[in-house]
Amino acid sequence: MIWGVGLLNGDDNRIREFMEFEELRNLIITASPCGVLVVNTDGVIVGCNDILSRHRLVRHQNILNRHIKDVLYRDPESEDIYSRDPIMITLQSGWGVVKELTLRTSSADWVECRVWTTTLKDTTGKIIGACGVFHDLTPYRKKKKQLEEINRALLETGNQLIQQHMETMMAFANAIAARDSYTRWHSEKVAEYAQQICINLGLDNETANMAYLAGLLHDVGKIGVSEEILTKPGKLTDQEYEVIKTHPVIGVNILKSMKNMKGILQVIKHHHERYDGKGYPSKLKGSKIPLLSRVLAVADSFDAMTSDRSYRNAFPVEKAIEEIKSNSGTQFDPRVVKSFMQLAQEQYLQ
């Protein structure tokens, strides 16, 4: 099986050199926990790894030389396939996509997948096919459903106010995520980073949990920003950037009528302040910025840098960590950066 070198679009020449080794490419593809599928320009499958061939989405034991629509879809004659299948979209547009699919399997149950795609090119730059990587989200979603059932049980045993409060938080977070597919899990990850940074700072559990809630809701004000600006693929104009800068205040106005939210309103309002006083909306400086806002600033920046956005690809984790470190004392609180570096050492630099 021949796997296209066009899978890698980065600028790191050393990685490119290593990826020229077919043995390395085959090892990565074989060991991947995700299904890998390669099609030619007609959408006919010319290669896959074992994970994909055993995937519950697949309808035939032998999938090579079959069209992708015959392998993954119950109704292969549906014209809608060409407008929603990520690999077909990539073949038609020439652009890689990230998309979630919910498909019915041959056993009549449903499978949820996240799919990443890219074009494959020959040495002249001509598109000769496309590749899709399929990650089965169903186990995660089932666990999430189990947790939701546990939470419902808590609701029935007297924790109704707490549960309703958390559901409201998650509803706001999901509303933000629905606006922009590039930042779908951003709020959840920022919440987790912020909570862990607080723990490393030696703060009590109540404060760490407040940081988590603030992380979930820190971008709620983006609900009031137009989608054209949020998902703009290029650089924002000065006027558009001024609109973006209003989202912390919009978020406070949205949440201020909710009971028990006063403790985190100021945290959300000031999470874009800079330690040197050059941030927004109030140009607060140093210790005048709420501590949890300073925590959120680091957590938010790190996840933003390590996530794909409409206008750029994600930074390597090491580069993002170095950016946080190099901006200690200017953009970020040195004490918070020190706590973040402990987290980074534990999770990324070992």
Per-residue tens of pLDDT for the chain, all 350 residues:
434 333 444 444 554 555 465 666 666 666 677 888 889 999 898 888 887 777 666 655 678 888 888 877 766 566 566 677 899 899 999 999 988 887 766 555 777 888 899 999 888 889 999 998 888 887 777 777 777 776 676 556 544 554 555 566 666 666 666 655 555 578 888 989 999 999 999 998 889 888 988 998 888 888 888 878 877 777 888 898 899 899 999 888 888 877 667 778 999 999 999 999 999 999 999 999 999 999 999 999 999 898 877 667 778 889 999 999 999 999 999 999 999 998 888 776 54
Angstrom CA distances, 43 to 23, 104, 194, stand at 26, 20, 44
CA 208 to chain centroid = 22
pLDDT of residue 5: 37
Residue 298 pLDDT: 96
Question: How many other CB atoms are found less than 10 A from the CB of residue 139?
Answer: 9
Q: What angle do CA 135, 137, 143 make, to 5 degrees?
A: 145
Which two tokens mark 36? 């890998």
Residue-level pLDDT at 163: 54
**Among 121, 222, 288, 338, which one carries the catalytic annotation?**
222
Domains and CATH numbers, the chain: 5-136 (3.30.450.20), 172-347 (1.10.3210.10)
- The answer to whether 232 is a known catalytic residue is no
Q: What's the pLDDT score for residue 341?
A: 93
pTM above 0.75, yes or no: no
